[in-house]
Amino acid sequence: MVRLNEIKMQDGKIFLITGANSGLGYETSKFLLERGATVIMCCRDLLKGEKAKKELLKFKFSGKIELVELDLSDLINVKKFAESIKNTFDHLDVLINNAGIMAPPKTLSKQGFEIQFAVNHLAHMFLTLELLPMLEEKNNSRVVTVTSGVQYFGKIQWEDLQGNLKYDRWASYAQSKLANVMFGLELDSKLKETNSKTSSLLAHPGFARTNLQPKSVEANQSWQEELAYKLMDPMFQSAKMGALPQITAATLTSASGGEQYGPRFNFRGFPKICRNAPKALNQTSRKKLWDISEKLIKDFDTLSKQSK
């Protein structure tokens, strides 16, 4: 079990966090700023981002905040964002793929992908691959991909990745969170093959109170879901506690590539190394998902270049 006093100061390090204006992203930003890091806070809504920044500045932390707009539902925006980061910073120490969407009604991204597969998995993979050269400028740099406990129940629908034939919002969410683990492990394998300075780790928050739950209830107008969350409320831990696994994966000196950190009791508690979803351990499946995802990204990238 990891305690906060094991985490060293982060002076001089640059962290980029997606979905940083609320929930786990906000608490992670707050922790890192307190320890002297420069935090690039990526937010889909700049107004909400400015509000979060204003709150954080009240603490007068020694770290620095860089607020930037990033819409993960649009790969064109992800590409432009990555180019802007490359032009502004000369390196990154840690990329935390934190942002996520949970169980909305059937919705498509700007490029026509099922929104959870697009935002939770595809956009973060694209962003990571775009920023990887910046990470490889530094020793012991890291990519931390945030998944969920539903990874253990997820299944990749190979014949219907986008839910075109049948859409189940919770099955699609679980699929995207399993995809996070498969991506994180496959990335680490590829990095190790090239003796990269960068490692890939995973984290999940357990049951943490964030804006994902009320957003899901609001989007689906589901009284059953709202009631379920009320009944389960005593089991939930704070967003501050839920952020500790990803903070640990991002900063703990002894953390290694391929490891996943989660709450001690799987749904709550201080972080420890936890098991990766068994379905993510199949190398053939991981490579298959990587190849499919890479092709979707490359096809988009090629088309966007031709349209210029």
Q: Tell me the two tokens of residue 158.
A: 């190979």
CA distance to 156, 279, 288, 292, per residue, from 285 (Å): 9, 8, 5, 11
* Active site amino acids: 173
Kindly provide the residue ranges of all beta strands, DSSP E only, lying in the chain, ordered along the sequence.
Answer: 14-18, 38-43, 64-69, 94-97, 141-146, 198-203, 260-263, 271-274
Cα first-last separation, the chain: 52
Inter-residue contact 302 to 79 (CB < 8 Å): no
Tokens 């608490």 belong to: 27
CA angle 27, 60, 92 (to 5 degrees): 60
Tokens 């009631």 belong to: 227
| Angle between the N-to-C axes of helices 124-135 and 169-193, in degrees from 0 to 180, rounded to the nearest 10 | 20
d(Cα 180, Cα 43) in Å, to the nearest integer? 20
Inter-residue contact 41 to 67 (CB < 8 Å): yes
Other C-beta atoms closer than 10 Å to the C-beta of 92 total: 26
CA torsion, ordered 78, 79, 80, 83, to nearest 10 deg: 120
CA distance to 242, 263, 272, per residue, from 185 (Å): 21, 19, 18
| Angle between the N-to-C axes of helices 283-306 and 169-193, in degrees from 0 to 180, rounded to the nearest 10 | 90
